[in-house]
Amino acid sequence: MPSKELKKIISRWQDWLTLQRNCSEHTIQSYLSDLYIFLEYLSPKEEVGIPTLKQLDIKAFRNFFSIRAKKGISKTSIAREESAVRNFFKWLNENKILNNTSIFQISKPKLDKALPRFIDVDMTFDIIDEAQKGCKEPWIGYRDMAIITLLYGCGLRISEALSLNIKDIDNEEFIKIRGKGNKDRYVPLLPIVLERINKYINHCPYKFKQDDALFLGVRGERLSPRIIQRKIQKIRMNLNLSENVTPHTLRHSFATHLLAQGTDLRSIQELLGHSSLSSTQIYTEVELNKIKEEYEKAFPN
């Protein structure tokens, strides 16, 4: 485990990730968890300090990632751990806390490119309809239906949807979304989405002001993403859906369905808030795979 000195340094790195890199709380906690796994490997019983980190060579780093692989840790998880440790050592070097570049001599692990998972249009509407069922109070059902309609109808991340305030829907035609890296984008607000949001607002027992959170929990606080994740889990069970169906699947479905309807990639890129077109181009492979599957059904070998 880290020494007192190293704990203070890790805390400074954490502040830097928050203030300078604008990393989400989820990303920061993942980085910290992965770094502590590495420190635990270095010395399971004794404290690890800066002197230990200074002396690490390329073999030490390679041994760690090799051991993780032999334990059956997935390539994706190992790549994430490598990224966390690499980021920490880069920060240590740039801040002249130590000088050790051994980890940068290791090639980044190559990952198999995973295609976004999506669901068809009919199933999407089944999920939205199911959102209103099984709630203790009607307004909660209207809230959950509004959120899920928003995720699919506007292609939002769950964090983006739940960070919205009342004033963000004043326009009634577009909503301003604060995405990753604090980058703003404007997304068209479809009539059905606005209708569902207004129905929730009208039935919500709390009175709203312009700066208030749009989506509230039962105690009137800003809604936690975990509540919607659990809701999707319940819907999955009710509809007998795959465990791969998550709130983010609705965003993938939004993009895939737009592409299937002929929307150009640049427009989809802007709607999703991707910083580069290459992030959006993966949806073309999803669509090509879908076409290939349909072809093979029609013309079996």
Active-site annotation, residues: 157, 180, 248, 251, 274, 283
In contact, 165 and 215? CB cutoff 8 Å: no
Cα–Cα dist 107/62, whole Å: 10
Cα distance between residue 187 and residue 269, in whole Å: 11
Nearest to 236 by CA among 228, 146, 135: 228
Eight-class DSSP state of 105? G
> b/e per residue, 113-143, with b = 16+ CB within 10 A?
eeeeebbeeeebebbbebbbeeeeeebbbbb
Question: What is the per-residue burial (b if ≥16 Cβ within 10 Å, else e) of 159-180?
Answer: ebbbbbbeebbeeeeebebebe
Q: What is the torsion angle, in degrees rounded to the nearest 10, for the CA atoms of residue 257, residue 262, residue 263 and residue 264?
A: 130
- The letter for the amino acid at 185 is R
Q: Where are the beta strands (DSSP E) in the chain?
A: 174-178, 184-188
Contact 203, 139 (CB under 8 A): yes
